[in-house]
């Protein structure tokens, strides 16, 4: 019996009936991975012995007991590697602690199943910036899986695992979920602990689940969300019951269609699939309202000032002194810093560090960083005003389906492709990608709701998935 195509809820049902064991699940998934990950490239490391031992000890009475979950390789888990897709941490670093979200998943009974590939330090939208391996899109080998959580998306899409964790700074959960044809949820900023996530841009990063179904995403979020005193950005607010209202439908809800997200340049297949989903929502009883988010055109420029600025600060800790790569023969302390970083970081990371350092430097802080923060406020106000008119907003995730690996000659092309996802991070809102019917490459629909309204978000997403 192959279990690789079974959802989390399906696996839990089989486990509770005693029809399968946790060991049956992981043995099946390890077999699938060993046979096919050579061509997909989703994982950076899998400790089969550790996984089997965890399965043998799984407490099936727990809500996620016996369920394997893959982990993006920028989330720390005790005594496991955490390379961030970089040579800087690939040599000998092992985490000395569990991230907050890992602790919660362990407490719920989940089994950690391998470390997934990613753009180096989460800087990219194709997983082509990984220093360690190439990841293919399981839906179309030779095409990118998206990024930076491309390995997690590929692992789920290839049915190597029923679920994976990703992180989303400017679309890094939703965009690869869209490209690979799975569900990807970015929670509200502060809803899920960031403790133990290797920081890219601290005011934007969030950890979220990547699954096959909306129900599975709701179940995982239920056991990931909540206040963590170890994370100063974690909000001390109650966690809703995300499964309780999942099937309440969209009748009577007002769904906003932002004109800026359906502008010229949108791939015809993306436009057609997105508008077909909007028509389905209307058939289900939702009211469709055209809205405007007028500062969308400034979102990409704003993001690529704020995110690199925070990255240049966060990545200063990688200096060759305390952990990670250290150059072999430094002449002095300055050459130790310079050569370790030169050898350890890839070109995209260096590009963003340089950009971030520049916009924070004397004479340019007010001209760039301070101005970007002001525009960020305007983008957030656009959403606040829109949510006075509508309950949820829907849009494409990406302007086009997944391109071929190696087809991007200019990093700016990939930067601009995040125009539909970046504003959500700047505003700190929850959003989800739900796969849509299509004859070609996978396409996802983005759903956005007000801050901390994940229950509503999942309710709309479930209606889209069911339709």
CA distances to 327, 445, 448 from 391, rounded to whole Å, are 54, 16, 9
- Residue tagged active-site, from 172, 178, 312, 395: 172
Quickly tell me which residue has 């983008």 as its tokens: 379
Considering only 35-49, 126-140, 401-415, which range has the smallest mean pLDDT? 401-415
**Can you read off the two tokens belonging to residue 53?**
């031992």
Q: How many helices (H) does the chain have, and how many strands (E)?
A: 15, 11
Using the predicted structure, report yes or no on whether residue 264 has a pLDDT greater than 90: no
Using the predicted structure, report yes or no on whether residue 307 has a pLDDT greater than 60: yes
Give the span between the Cα atoms of 403 and 412, in whole angstroms: 15
Instruction: Return the pLDDT at 455.
Output: 98
CA distances to 84, 233, 258 from 123, rounded to whole Å, are 10, 22, 27
Using the predicted structure, report yes or no on whether residue 68 has a pLDDT greater than 70: yes
C-beta of residue 127 within 8 angstroms of C-beta of residue 145:
yes
As a whole number, mean pLDDT of residues 335-360 equals 96
Q: Per-residue pLDDT tens for 198-218?
A: 999 999 999 999 999 999 999
- Residue tagged active-site, from 90, 95, 130, 148: 148
Other Cβ atoms within 10 Å of 16 Cβ, number: 12
Q: Per-residue pLDDT tens for 84-133?
A: 999 999 988 999 999 999 999 999 999 999 999 999 999 999 999 999 99
Instruction: Return the pLDDT at 139.
Output: 96
pTM (two decimals): 0.97
Q: What is the dihedral of CA 152, 156, 160, 165, to 10 degrees?
A: 40
Gap between the terminal Cα atoms of the chain: 29
Give domain limits for the chain.
8-224
Q: Per-residue pLDDT tens for 140-171?
A: 999 999 999 999 999 999 999 999 999 999 99
> pLDDT averaged over the chain?
97
As a whole number, mean pLDDT of residues 340-368 equals 95
Residue 409 dihedral angles phi and psi, to the nearest 5°: -95, -15
Give the span between the Cα atoms of 417 and 390, in whole angstroms: 26
Is residue 395 part of the annotated active site? The answer reads: no
DSSP letter string over 54-81? HHHT--TTSTTTT-EEEEETTB--TTSB
Instruction: Return the pLDDT at 30.
Output: 98
As a whole number, mean pLDDT of residues 9-30 equals 97
Instruction: Return the pLDDT at 408.
Output: 85
As a whole number, mean pLDDT of residues 28-49 equals 98
Instruction: Return the pLDDT at 299.
Output: 97
Instruction: Return the pLDDT at 1.
Output: 53
Q: Per-residue pLDDT tens for 278-305?
A: 999 999 999 999 999 999 999 999 999 9
Long-range contacts of 48-51 (CB under 8 A, 24+ apart): 51/26, 51/111, 51/112, 51/113, 51/114
Instruction: Return the pLDDT at 363.
Output: 86
CATH code for the part of the protein at 8-224: 3.90.1300.10
Instruction: Return the pLDDT at 412.
Output: 85
CA distances to 206, 253, 289 from 279, rounded to whole Å, are 31, 14, 12
Is residue 188 part of the annotated active site? The answer reads: no
Give the span between the Cα atoms of 377 and 354, in whole angstroms: 25
Using the predicted structure, report yes or no on whether residue 411 has a pLDDT greater than 90: no
Is residue 186 part of the annotated active site? The answer reads: no
pLDDT band, residue 362 (cuts 50/70/90): confident
Give the span between the Cα atoms of 227 and 238, in whole angstroms: 8
Helix, coil or strand: residue 251: coil
- Residue tagged active-site, from 72, 104, 186, 280: 72
pLDDT band, residue 413 (cuts 50/70/90): confident
Q: Per-residue pLDDT tens for 444-467?
A: 999 999 999 999 999 999 999 999
Residue 3 dihedral angles phi and psi, to the nearest 5°: -105, 0
């Amino acid at each position: 019996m192959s279990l690789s195509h079974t959802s989390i809820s399906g696996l839990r049902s089989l486990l509770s009936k005693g029809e399968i064991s946790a060991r049956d699940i992981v043995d099946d998934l390890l077999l699938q991975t060993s046979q096919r990950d050579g061509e997909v490239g989703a994982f950076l490391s899998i400790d089969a012995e550790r996984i089997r031992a965890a399965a043998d000890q799984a407490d099936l009475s727990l809500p996620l007991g016996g369920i394997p979950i893959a982990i993006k390789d920028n989330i720390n888990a005790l005594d496991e590697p955490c390379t961030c897709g970089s040579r800087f941490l690939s040599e000998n670093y092992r985490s000395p602690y569990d991230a907050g979200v890992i602790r919660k998943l362990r407490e719920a009974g989940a089994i950690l199943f391998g470390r997934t590939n990613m753009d180096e330090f989460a800087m990219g939208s194709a997983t082509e910036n990984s220093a360690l391996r190439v990841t293919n899109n399981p839906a179309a080998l030779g095409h990118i899986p998206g990024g930076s959580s491309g390995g997690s998306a590929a692992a789920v899409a290839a049915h190597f695992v029923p679920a994976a964790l990703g992180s989303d700074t400017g679309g890094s959960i939703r965009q690869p979920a869209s490209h690979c044809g799975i569900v990807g949820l970015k929670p509200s900023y502060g809803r899920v602990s960031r403790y133990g996530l290797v920081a890219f841009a601290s005011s934007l990063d969030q950890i979220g689940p990547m699954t096959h179904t909306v129900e599975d995403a709701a179940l995982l979020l239920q056991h990931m969300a909540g206040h963590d005193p170890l994370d100063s950005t974690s909000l001390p607010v109650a966690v809703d019951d995300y499964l309780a209202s999942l099937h309440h439908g969209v009748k009577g809800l007002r769904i906003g269609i932002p004109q800026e997200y359906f502008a010229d340049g949108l791939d015809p297949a993306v436009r057609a699939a997105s508008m077909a989903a909007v028509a389905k929502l209307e058939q289900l009883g939702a009211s469709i309202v055209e809205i405007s988010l007028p500062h969308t055109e400034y979102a990409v420029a704003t993001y690529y000032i704020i995110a690199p600025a925070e990255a240049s600060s966060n990545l200063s800790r990688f200096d060759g002194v305390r952990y990670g790569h250290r150059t072999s023969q430094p002449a002095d302390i300055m050459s130790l810093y310079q050569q370790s970083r030169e050898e350890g970081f890839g070109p995209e990371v260096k590009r963003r560090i340089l950009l971030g350092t520049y916009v924070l430097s004397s004479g340019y802080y007010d001209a760039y960083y301070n101005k970007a923060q002001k525009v960020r406020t305007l983008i957030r106000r656009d959403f606040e005003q829109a949510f006075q008119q509508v309950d949820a907003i829907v849009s494409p995730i990406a302007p086009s389906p997944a391109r071929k690996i190696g087809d991007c000659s200019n990093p700016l092309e990939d930067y601009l492709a995040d125009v539909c996802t970046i504003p959500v991070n700047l505003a700190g809102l929850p959003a989800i990608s739900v796969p849509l019917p299509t004859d070609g490459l996978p396409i996802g629909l983005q759903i956005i709701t007000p801050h901390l309204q994940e229950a509503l978000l999942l309710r709309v997403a479930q209606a889209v998935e069911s339709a």
